[in-house]
DNA sequence: CCACCTTTGAAGCCC
DNA sequence: GGGCTTCAAAGGTGG
């Protein structure tokens, strides 16, 4: 992918923005001849095990009492941070990119990537859109799913949304914010951290619009508080078609996210105060922690120095590796499909009542192929910006740096014939 | 507790 | 340059 070639790659996105589709090849076919694509899809579907139905009967009740957070605290911490940053990102983007038809294009060439570190308390258009949407009665047929996938609505509080997390004084719609901001409101943020302003018309707490705040980093402790309320302000694009607000279209790649008091309140229920303090090495050179940065202490590599006893308690006392300590784990930028997945996962989960991510991902993969060019373009463009910003944030970073960080299984068996249909599902 | 599963795409590596 | 591998997210599942 030559996305970064050609003089820095940020001169024009017009060229490479279409590359993904040409690369895919089948995209054009799919558009011109949906029949074949649908036939292929149908072929796939016909062989699928309708796990969703099986699950729905047995797991509907389970969903309410969805399995508690059993993951490692470190991962939860990471996720919490990611989600929080996600929300923040959306908030930021909401201020930056108001309501383009295809937001990917309008902000293609925002030259100043430092704007990525805008900080404000606004709510992203996408999130705000969710607030307006009503969750459709879900038709889990494939075709309906395809249509639904283009509707960035948020489910009726998919089971990803923690029920216990919206405190009474948090806006009731807070959990609707985004597809996966399950950690966004996990608690009761201190009121002083939510400098909301009640909208005189709606009475809904609103945080100042980005234009009303200093959009730039660094976040002062006070400014940080402005991110506290995800329902900051109302969306301007009331009559916009749903598709005009792509799930990821407004996201800014890497938001300003400081592990601050707000964050602390978000994670304090599960993490020790030590943990909520951003590890120094996870800070960007600007002092801005990056969601792609995963502290070794947080990740797998135990750090001996700055870990609280609770951390030690949950992490095996393996002797720390010094070299790894020095290098924070910088995640790969998300590709277009990953961005799409993050946006649509909750929706698919809500629609299909599936729980297993493998099954969800299968559906998402099919839906991804069902997207139109324009819709995919938005994600390709977002991904391109992600990579672009990532390369600017971490000039020396290489995907190779992460090789071996994660113990990967050997996918020795890649048989042509699908061995098990266990994970093949149909929604 | 952690790898696996599953998806697509990007990047790296090897030949 | 083509083919293969790894990793990115996600969370249930099983060892």
Measured to protein CB atoms, the chain C nucleotides within 7 Å are 5-13
Which protein residue lies nearest to nucleotide B6, measured between its Cα and the C1' atom? A358
Instruction: Spell out the domains of chain A, with CATH numbers in brackets.
Output: 336-397 (1.10.30.10)
Q: State residue A394's pLDDT score.
A: 87
**pLDDT value of residue A150:** 36
CB A410 under 7 Å to nucleic chain C = yes
Q: Is A65 helix (H, G, I), strand (E, B) or coil?
A: coil
pLDDT of the residue at A289 = 54
Q: How far is the CA of A4 from the C1' of B15 (A)?
A: 26
Burial class (CB in 10 A: 0-12, 13-18, 19+), A287: middle
Residue whose CA lies closest to nucleotide B5 C1': A358
Instruction: State, as a whole number of angstroms, the distance between the CA of A386 and the C1' of C6.
Output: 19
Residues whose C-beta lies under 7 Å from strand B: A 1, 3-4, 20, 23-24, 72, 300, 314, 316, 332, 335-338, 341, 356-358, 361-362, 364-365, 368-369, 376, 380, 383-384, 387, 398-400, 406-411, 413, 418, 420, 422-424
Residue A329, SS3 per DSSP: strand
Report DSSP state, residue A294: E
Q: Which of residues 162-181 of A touch strand C (CB under 7 A)?
A: 180
Pairing relation of β-strands A293-294 and A329-330? antiparallel
Name the nt closest to A387 by C-alpha to C1'. Answer: B10
Nearest nt by C1' to A336 Cα:
B9
A4 CA – C1 C1', rounded, Å: 20
- Per DSSP, A333 falls in state P
Can you read off the two tokens belonging to residue A115?
């704007």
Q: How crowded is the C-beta side of A318, counted as CA atoms within 13 Å?
A: 13
Among all protein residues, pick the one whose CA is nearest to the C1' atom of C12: A356
Q: Which residue is nearest to nucleotide B1 (CA to C1')?
A: A72
Residues 6+ apart with CB under 8 A from A255: A85, A86, A88, A89, A91, A92, A116, A117, A118, A119, A291
Q: Which nucleotide is nearest to A355 (CA to C1')?
A: C12
State the nucleotide closest to A418 in CA–C1' terms: B6
CA nearest A376: which of A18, A14, A11, A8?
A18
Q: Are A288 and A132 in contact (CB under 8 A)?
A: no
pLDDT of residue A361: 93
Nucleotide nearest to A333 (CA to C1'): C8
Q: Which residues have CB under 8 Å from A411's CB, separation 6+?
A: none
Give the pLDDT confidence score for residue A364 in this predicted structure.
93
- Structural tokens at position A301: 């590599």
CA torsion through residues A319, A325, A326, A331, sign: positive
One digit per residue, the tens of pLDDT, for chain A of length 427 reads: 333 333 333 333 333 334 444 333 333 333 333 433 334 334 433 333 343 333 333 333 333 333 333 333 343 434 444 444 444 444 444 333 333 333 333 333 333 333 333 333 333 333 333 333 333 333 343 333 333 333 333 333 333 333 333 333 333 333 333 333 333 333 333 333 333 333 333 343 433 333 333 322 233 333 333 333 332 222 333 323 332 333 333 334 343 333 333 333 333 333 333 333 333 444 444 444 556 666 543 333 333 333 333 333 333 333 444 554 556 788 999 999 999 999 999 889 888 888 889 999 999 999 999 999 999 999 999 999 889 899 888 888 888 888 887 765 544 443 344 334 444 566 6
CA(A276)–C1'(B15) in Å? Answer: 47
């Amino acid at each position: 992918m030559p996305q970064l070639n050609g003089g820095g790659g940020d001169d024009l996105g017009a060229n490479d923005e279409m590359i993904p589709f040409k690369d895919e090849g089948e995209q054009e076919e799919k558009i011109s001849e949906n029949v074949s694509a649908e036939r292929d899809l149908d072929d796939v579907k016909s062989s699928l095990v309708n796990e969703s139905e099986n699950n729905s009967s047995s797991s509907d009740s389970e969903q309410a009492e969805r399995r508690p957070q059993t993951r490692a605290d470190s991962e939860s911490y990471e996720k919490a941070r990611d989600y929080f940053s996600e929300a923040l990102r959306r908030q930021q983007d909401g201020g930056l990119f108001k309501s383009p038809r295809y937001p990917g294009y309008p902000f293609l060439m925002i030259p100043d990537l430092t704007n990525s570190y805008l900080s404000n308390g606004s709510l992203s258009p996408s999130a705000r859109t969710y607030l307006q949407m009503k969750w459709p009665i879900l038709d889990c047929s494939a075709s309906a799913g395809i249509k639904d996938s283009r509707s960035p609505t948020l489910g009726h509080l998919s089971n990803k949304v923690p029920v216990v997390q919206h405190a009474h004084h948090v806006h009731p719609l807070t959990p609707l914010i985004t597809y996966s901001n399950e950690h966004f409101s996990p608690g009761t943020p201190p009121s002083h951290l939510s400098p909301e302003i009640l909208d005189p018309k709606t009475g809904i707490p609103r945080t100042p619009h980005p234009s009303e705040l200093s959009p730039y980093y660094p976040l002062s402790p006070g400014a940080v508080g402005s991110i506290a309320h995800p329902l900051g302000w109302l969306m301007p694009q009331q009559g916009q078609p749903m598709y005009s607000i792509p799930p990821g279209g407004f996201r800014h790649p890497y938001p300003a996210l400081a592990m601050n008091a707000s964050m602390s309140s978000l994670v304090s229920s599960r993490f020790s105060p030590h943990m909520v303090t951003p590890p120094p090495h996870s800070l960007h050179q600007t002092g801005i922690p990056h969601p792609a940065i995963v502290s070794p202490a947080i990740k797998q590599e135990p750090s001996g120095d700055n870990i609280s006893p609770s951390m030690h308690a949950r992490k095996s006392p393996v002797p720390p590796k010094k070299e790894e300590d020095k290098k924070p784990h910088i995640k790969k930028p998300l590709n277009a499909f990953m961005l799409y997945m993050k946006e649509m996962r909750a929706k698919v989960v809500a629609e299909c009542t599936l729980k297993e991510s493998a099954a969800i991902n299968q559906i998402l993969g099919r839906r991804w192929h069902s997207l139109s060019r324009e819709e995919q373009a938005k994600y390709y463009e977002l991904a391109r910006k992600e990579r672009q910003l990532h390369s600017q944030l971490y000039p020396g970073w290489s995907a190779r740096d992460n090789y071996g960080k994660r113990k990967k299984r050997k996918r020795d068996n890649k048989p042509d014939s699908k061995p098990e249909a266990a994970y093949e599902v149909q929604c």
